[in-house]
């Protein structure tokens, strides 16, 4: 599977919360290949375990993850993360504060 976009936890949560612009953007990007990190997956499972209906929430996550790659974290990914987060910080566009 080719991965074109790494989706942040906040985007997945916004999607589940019915933010239409996020859901639409994810739909548009899906054909380019979506991925979430193993860290994001862990954060999403934290939310599932404290949701009002964990079974329903987990089923929704599993549906979302169909065709989405889950990436582990290694040294190279940490290097890219550090570089890109620094670049975004300099531009005043930190992840989680930008508008889609």
- Residue 53 CA, distance from chain mean position: 21
**CA 21, CA 14: separation in Å to the nearest integer?**
9
pLDDT given for residue 94 in this prediction = 77
Q: Which domains does the chain have, with CATH numbers?
A: 5-71 (3.40.50.1010)
- DSSP conformational letter for 71: E
Per residue in 26-78, pLDDT (tens digit) is 999 999 999 999 999 999 999 999 999 999 999 999 999 999 999 998 999 88
- pLDDT top residue among 90 and 1: 90
pLDDT band at 97 (very low <50, low <70, confident <90, very high): very low
- Residue 85 CA, distance from chain mean position: 15
């Amino acid at each position: 599977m080719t991965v074109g976009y790494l989706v942040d936890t906040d985007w997945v949560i916004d999607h589940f919360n019915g933010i239409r612009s996020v859901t639409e953007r994810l739909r548009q990007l899906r054909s380019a290949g979506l991925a979430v990190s193993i860290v994001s997956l862990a954060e999403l499972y934290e939310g599932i375990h404290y949701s009002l209906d964990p079974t329903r929430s987990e089923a929704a996550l599993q549906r979302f993850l169909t065709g989405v790659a889950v990436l582990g974290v290694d040294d190279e990914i940490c290097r890219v993360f550090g570089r890109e987060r620094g670049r975004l910080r300099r531009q005043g566009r930190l992840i989680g504060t930008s508008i889609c």
